[in-house]
Structure 1
């Protein structure tokens, strides 16, 4: 039962009363003449105890344990979770430079409450508590990160996992957590050299291949890859200056079998039938090089300066070869006699099919820079301050190249009689009668797609070239006052000044043939990228070389694939201040720690975009003239938060969190660009809903989606009986983790997010078109105009609803049951989430996009005397998600769920001349799971079908002793 009337204020009021009770319940000195010396002794003892507790807490938080192996990683992660003053999930490195999992995204997907979505065969974006990637944020060492996508979602495959010592996911925020997300905040932490008691270094190398052989040839693609990375940590000048250097070089291949059905119209009998399909065999290669440098200086116990620098450059090439079959939505004719099952044509034949043979090529160049400079100064035993400057920038350039060939121009030439069958897994199997590798194939526009341009062209191909530039700068000043006595350990306050600019532009051009020719001869080889779906062979060639040698010519155009100008720029200026009280006391025999506070976040946002000039004579031709449009708004949001941790003895904790959180609008939704139109028949109307002007586009005045976030978690930690740690002698003396270990835990948690101001992406809002009157209407028409107001089809903040769920985690070393099972263990997490979302006055709720109702992760492991083996399963049920649509726009489709399996075995030499060497073999996607999206809650209406194959890696890792 959740309180609806200002729940956050009531929660914080209750917390304040609780704290007041704690303070007033403290025994008072009956003798007013008690000695000053006694008071000073008590204060000094309290200060010493406070500093000791603080030092121990910092040591635990920094993970001083020398982790070696998967078991140590699990137990160190457990310590990070347990010692946090909020509700978090955490993962720690197995050893320096080696997080468990194939990548950062893969590692995060194993944590309770998190799931990953695969893009181009690789885990890439993260969902927390079922909400999509735009509802969470990513930090590196506490500083917010930009994105290489055209929105805010962070693509985690851009971060080399070897750089990070630990990753902490904040499910319940604190007031001093800047850049927090609505569903959660991922903080990736690099190695701090002065936190290590000695020099450390490691080198890792892996060889990578896929079970599916290379499907398509092209520049920069293949079916083999590698990953070579290293980390070096050292300390100098009597441990006052430290350096961390990390390098990463990776070539990551993927083979993708892809089908993209156009949709499902109804035939003459009212039965659904596939309307067309775009089919590819894709070879993808992502090459990445990265550099990490950390410089840390601590000349004395009062001052520490840390400078983090990261640079990551990645290039992705993708050769996509296949055939597009225009079917129902073309001149093709569906023949009678197909197999119809429950109103769906499961198999049949189309005659007069005019296929488009595709030889496409995509490439991406991206760079990500991060600078973070943190300076901490302790003035005395009570006061300290931190000044942090951070800068994050991402630049990305894409080339999406399409090239067409067929038997003739615009319906001429030979046609195909094409049989089709939808298999039980959703894949379409085709049986053509035409040889697509024959000499009758020519470069041309088989469907006459260029005929709709202004002026008409022979569209023998097309280029989309989007480029994105995203940069974020923050300056943060924080001050902390520690207390010698009382229920509060300290109070923090601070202010952050931030600015973010993101620009998205897309260049478009037709590929045409010289001298206005409709066809051009084709010198090409034969290949078989679609043999897996029944197409024996087709013509294959390199379209880039044809542009270079003049076979193709570029014909620049605008708005050829979407009606709204796609270029935009978003600017945000933020000032965030916060106040946080940190609690460390007890209620009788129950320990109580945590924090409460508030953030005040003020934002001034603006957006610029484009519209088509009224006199341009069309919206999709080379003569379209674009003029600027702008808009924006300001807002201030107050974000209170509270985290209370009740310690019941040594092994049981109850965590309670309450916070108001927000998710800023997607940046493409904030675009000021408009596709404006006018209806002369409605010129005199005064009703804005029936007025002359209307448009579609973004909304520069969008506000954040808000939520009241409640979390509760009960955790029971088991007594350690042989932790499996490999601690140094120094660590055994100083680390609670090494002394007592952590033998696993059981946690049961629940959460509730009450959503409001949720952004409806397909709504409408009122807009004043006064600026467009002069360019659209003559003076006489302006006199007849009834109103300058009209309706824009675009996003608005009219949604409300909730997300709620339950989650259970069992982290169990099997030695808890019997010593005979020492070294064996398992981690099992299950989650159930329910949601409801209502847009505007629509009474019919939907599920929140990105939500999986059921999620589960299971890992079974064994570790003994250097040998390790583990197998994992990650499951999520079907959910409404987002995929890339035409011209890199984003569209919602239901994504089919399922399980993804992975396994790893390794052996580490702990003695002898090979001491420190680890041999590793691992496989991922061992179930060869398909990625499937569909529409209308009907799994037969597949919109995307992809299969990636099984991925294998073998390698070595050497930790220098």
Structure 2
């Protein structure tokens, strides 16, 4: 019987790479030469007669993971990268994003110290398609990018990253497509129960009285077959209670305000100065409960049915205690002055790095933020196989819910203060000398920074839902010398994303009179000694709300515009021909060719806000169609040598938040012309033509080397633009316009550009070289990517910005040893500076110039042998972020000097895990 599943088979300153960075990539290239030499030394080692079918060795552990991943890459008709579990419920890393980010051309973006989203080939998570068992997934974020920390690594059996699409890959991305896969119980073919647990600790310890530095992970998996192997069941549960800590410092912005006619007393003329600072500690307590279930039924060779269910509940509570202040010339009517100033020459520009600030009023911040995410996914696929014909029907559903609440309150000493400072022009923790901010008798609840309120609360709710149905007909052809089968299918996808937010201000009672806090409500003071800011008054602001504050709704136009609904109906029709032929006696050619036709209807409903009030709503939308041809060819030259070629038309629909129909639009009372800004429901996708070429050499079951080239020509890119806009249907608020057309600032399709790069990768087992290295192995890869696209638009940027997610150089290296039950692995990831996209103030998104990252992880484990009396038991010790590598960013000086100055410097500490796994 032949089973045909529905899921297709396998502004940053960027300079040229330094010699050290280039060496990471060159090292991968040298592996090509090394592998050829090693093969010559190991002629006695057996090689597979058919390079497309690798010998299977029944093992678990690192080698099993590598062998399965290499086999997936080898046998695929597309250019793919793969990660496989070492055993049931045991991916190579504790995070799916970490595992994926070690693959060639892929990098992770850290959020709050943990890997959350991935960038493929220099493009942000918004360009990545994410599937679960071949089905498109919703996002708990405010756009399309899937946050992978929602998926417990213990419940995922394998991950395949498609770098070239084929016509039957539905839900594909433009940069790549990630397919998360759960286990298939009938294919697994045996009963297995695995129970694991570990304790977790952060090296920073408890940074505040209300924080935790310890947690745990626990999981259990069960796989079995019944009724003469016609029914298979797989169940998995994963629990997580994980602490994350951070020590954070940020320089707000730098400028020589003399240029704007705003000098400050004591400031040297022409000197660049820091205009505001903040330091804080933040503690996150992450709790995630995940459940996975698979029921598989195959009573005969004709019928096959599979039901997949997945659920995840992700809760996070975050507490923050910090101090911050602005010291620009406009704060408090120019009250700030300088004393004892010293400057440092930075690229010919004097920068103030030492002195005393007078007239500053530091705000003590105590924040409490909560987040509750729920993720549901279900899919039911049924296949009827009638000889050379088979029909598969798939119904699937995916839904994400997020409820989020962010609360901040302010306190401080009464009256102006003096602050000593000692700054560096390089990334790192700067140091300040502050008065005591921990005394409950002198630190009052009030608004030291003159923000106009004494606290702020924002509650938001968001839902993202996909309902989809797919039908595929497959016909096997035995009479053709080159066409093995073809697939014809259709997929109907209905997606709705809705977001609602409410913003409240909190003002102190008695006309906002400064108030001290009852000592019974205080925590122990929090130390900011790592930046010299001393101790802070600390409390849980939610305990104070009803007692000290009047809380009332207060929403600006920007707040009102956060509410939106986006609907998408996406119908995909496709045809794929599967090819396989012998070109010569030694060369076999296989692959596929086909096309998709995608019809998209999209619309959005949002508010038109004006003056902090809703003056109207509107529903806008558009529809468009795309034909996406694709071709994948694999030339197998025997003896493990392969050349792959891919060519395709690709697209990615716009970020969902860009499609919002929100607006701030009004008629100018003097010119009577329309003007406004907001989202654009009329946006069309990013579209690109892509070509890929990969040269690969496979050596045994666990070794290969590859060189891949890619080129993407983006016809269009989406930029912020001012465009003509039809304001028909908008509320003119009583001012009659001269025309329904006016100027609108929004996202719009514009000219694209190229993305191109090279990737080199090698996975080499030590016994490939000599028996003395049995058990040892290395995995190394490096990539270089560049683009002509300026995210500010053609001729609009300063030439230093790059598209979000683009690191020119990305490299990974893993050295492992596994033998006699002992296993050890040390891994390092590197990525060049890039323009990252992050959550920012009040739920907005912000691009930030993120500096290079280099993180090191370590794993050690021991599996007890059968004869030990403890068969099936494994012990594990793991350290993440061994080198405590900081998150670093920089910001351009605001008055045109061309300097890039340090912005954020945040350390997250090391995560230690000690645990066990028991297999039955």
Of residues 690, 701, 708 in structure 2, which corresponds to 1:709? 690
Q: Tell me, yes or no, if structure 1 residue 914 matches structure 2 residue 870.
A: yes
5 Å matches for 1:429-468? Answer: 429-450=431-452, 459-468=453-462
Question: CA 1:564–1:835 in structure 2 vs 1: closer, same or farther (change >3 Å)?
Answer: farther
User: 1:94 and 1:766 mapped to 2: Cα distance?
Assistant: 56
Of residues 467, 470, 474 in structure 2, which corresponds to 1:476? 470
Question: CA 1:774–1:544 in structure 2 vs 1: closer, same or farther (change >3 Å)?
Answer: closer
For normalisation by structure 1, the TM-score amounts to: 0.85
Aligned partner of 2:660 in structure 1 is 671
Of residues 367, 392, 401 in structure 1, which corresponds to 2:407? 401
TM-superposed deviation, 1:417: 2.9
The structure with higher relative contact order (CA 8 Å, sep 6+) is 2
Question: CA 1:948–1:423 in structure 2 vs 1: closer, same or farther (change >3 Å)?
Answer: farther
User: Which one is further off, 422-431 or 318-327?
Assistant: 422-431
Q: CA deviation digits over 1:311-334, x for unaligned, max 9? A: 100100100001111212523524
Of residues 504, 529, 532 in structure 2, which corresponds to 1:531? 529
Of residues 912, 915, 918 in structure 2, which corresponds to 1:952? 912
Q: Is the 8 A contact 1:465 1:507 kept in 2?
A: yes
TM-superposed deviation, 1:119: 0.7
TM-superposed deviation, 1:664: 0.9
Q: Is the 8 A contact 2:288 2:313 kept in 1?
A: yes
Q: CA deviation digits over 1:704-742, x for unaligned, max 9? A: 101111111000111x3xxxxxxxxxxxxxxxxxxxxx1
Question: CA 1:423–1:948 in structure 2 vs 1: closer, same or farther (change >3 Å)?
Answer: farther
Give the CA RMSD over aligned residues: 2.0
Question: CA 1:816–1:639 in structure 2 vs 1: closer, same or farther (change >3 Å)?
Answer: same
User: 2:564 and 2:740 mapped to 1: Cα distance?
Assistant: 24
SS of aligned partner of 1:304: strand
User: Which one is further off, 765-774 or 563-572?
Assistant: 765-774
User: 1:466 and 1:748 mapped to 2: Cα distance?
Assistant: 46
User: 1:262 and 1:584 mapped to 2: Cα distance?
Assistant: 60
Aligned partner of 1:552 in structure 2 is 549
Q: Is the 8 A contact 1:423 1:429 kept in 2?
A: no
Q: Tell me, yes or no, if structure 1 residue 924 matches structure 2 residue 905.
A: no
Aligned partner of 1:818 in structure 2 is 770
Q: Tell me, yes or no, if structure 1 residue 595 matches structure 2 residue 592.
A: yes
5 Å matches for 1:259-658? Answer: 259-268=249-258, 269-328=269-328, 329-331=330-332, 332-335=335-338, 337-342=341-346, 343=349, 344-380=351-387, 382-408=388-414, 413-422=415-424, 424-450=426-452, 459-486=453-480, 487-523=482-518, 524-547=522-545, 549-559=546-556, 562=558, 565-588=561-584, 589-613=586-610, 618-619=611-612, 624-658=613-647
User: 1:920 and 1:281 mapped to 2: Cα distance?
Assistant: 30
Aligned partner of 1:942 in structure 2 is 902
Aligned partner of 1:6 in structure 2 is none
User: 2:892 and 2:57 mapped to 1: Cα distance?
Assistant: 51
Aligned partner of 2:837 in structure 1 is 882
SS of aligned partner of 2:299: strand
Aligned partner of 1:227 in structure 2 is 217
User: 2:491 and 2:365 mapped to 1: Cα distance?
Assistant: 51
Aligned partner of 2:241 in structure 1 is 251
SS of aligned partner of 1:771: coil
User: 2:118 and 2:623 mapped to 1: Cα distance?
Assistant: 29
Which residues of structure 2 form unaligned runs of 5+? 1-49, 259-268
TM-superposed deviation, 1:414: 4.5
SS of aligned partner of 1:668: helix
Which residues of structure 1 form unaligned runs of 5+? 1-55, 451-458, 684-691, 721-741
Q: Is the 8 A contact 2:436 2:534 kept in 1?
A: no
Q: CA deviation digits over 1:889-945, x for unaligned, max 9? A: 111111111210001111101223201111100111111111112223978523332
Q: CA deviation digits over 1:591-626, x for unaligned, max 9? A: 00000100000010001111125xxxx32xxxx335
Q: Is the 8 A contact 2:404 2:459 kept in 1?
A: yes
Q: Is the 8 A contact 1:466 1:504 kept in 2?
A: yes
TM-superposed deviation, 1:520: 2.0
Q: CA deviation digits over 1:679-726, x for unaligned, max 9? A: 33323xxxxxxxx221111111011101111111000111x3xxxxxx
User: 2:876 and 2:446 mapped to 1: Cα distance?
Assistant: 50
Aligned partner of 1:793 in structure 2 is 745
Aligned partner of 1:747 in structure 2 is 706
TM-superposed deviation, 1:57: 12
Q: Tell me, yes or no, if structure 1 residue 775 matches structure 2 residue 723.
A: no
TM-superposed deviation, 1:59: 9.3
SS of aligned partner of 1:79: helix
User: 2:289 and 2:51 mapped to 1: Cα distance?
Assistant: 36
Question: CA 1:773–1:957 in structure 2 vs 1: closer, same or farther (change >3 Å)?
Answer: closer
Q: Is the 8 A contact 2:666 2:732 kept in 1?
A: no
User: 1:84 and 1:555 mapped to 2: Cα distance?
Assistant: 58
Q: Is the 8 A contact 2:667 2:732 kept in 1?
A: no
User: 1:774 and 1:828 mapped to 2: Cα distance?
Assistant: 61
User: Which one is further off, 925-934 or 843-852?
Assistant: 843-852
Quick check: which has more Rg, 1 or 2? 1
TM-superposed deviation, 1:419: 2.0
User: Which one is further off, 842-851 or 97-106?
Assistant: 842-851
TM-superposed deviation, 1:345: 2.3
User: 1:563 and 1:295 mapped to 2: Cα distance?
Assistant: 45
Q: Is the 8 A contact 1:526 1:537 kept in 2?
A: no
Question: CA 1:72–1:334 in structure 2 vs 1: closer, same or farther (change >3 Å)?
Answer: farther
User: 1:296 and 1:353 mapped to 2: Cα distance?
Assistant: 67
Q: Is the 8 A contact 2:460 2:500 kept in 1?
A: yes
Q: Tell me, yes or no, if structure 1 residue 100 matches structure 2 residue 102.
A: no
Of residues 757, 761, 777 in structure 1, which corresponds to 2:716? 757
User: 1:239 and 1:372 mapped to 2: Cα distance?
Assistant: 22
Q: Is the 8 A contact 2:856 2:880 kept in 1?
A: yes
Of residues 152, 162, 177 in structure 2, which corresponds to 1:160? 152
User: 2:879 and 2:499 mapped to 1: Cα distance?
Assistant: 37
TM-superposed deviation, 1:563: 6.8
User: 1:948 and 1:533 mapped to 2: Cα distance?
Assistant: 15
Q: CA deviation digits over 1:639-666, x for unaligned, max 9? A: 1111000000131010000111111111
TM-superposed deviation, 1:66: 4.2
Of residues 139, 147, 154 in structure 1, which corresponds to 2:139? 147
Question: CA 1:72–1:848 in structure 2 vs 1: closer, same or farther (change >3 Å)?
Answer: same
5 Å matches for 1:850-861? Answer: 850-861=805-816
Of residues 678, 681, 698 in structure 2, which corresponds to 1:700? 681
TM-superposed deviation, 1:773: 6.0
Question: CA 1:667–1:924 in structure 2 vs 1: closer, same or farther (change >3 Å)?
Answer: same
User: Which one is further off, 177-186 or 253-262?
Assistant: 253-262
SS of aligned partner of 2:866: coil
Question: CA 1:58–1:835 in structure 2 vs 1: closer, same or farther (change >3 Å)?
Answer: closer
Q: Tell me, yes or no, if structure 1 residue 202 matches structure 2 residue 194.
A: yes
Q: CA deviation digits over 1:290-345, x for unaligned, max 9? A: 11111111010111100001110010010000111121252352415232322232
SS of aligned partner of 2:693: strand
TM-superposed deviation, 1:196: 1.7
Question: CA 1:495–1:65 in structure 2 vs 1: closer, same or farther (change >3 Å)?
Answer: farther
User: 1:578 and 1:592 mapped to 2: Cα distance?
Assistant: 23
For normalisation by structure 2, the TM-score amounts to: 0.89
User: 1:273 and 1:861 mapped to 2: Cα distance?
Assistant: 48
Of residues 830, 834, 837 in structure 1, which corresponds to 2:789? 837
Question: CA 1:99–1:282 in structure 2 vs 1: closer, same or farther (change >3 Å)?
Answer: same
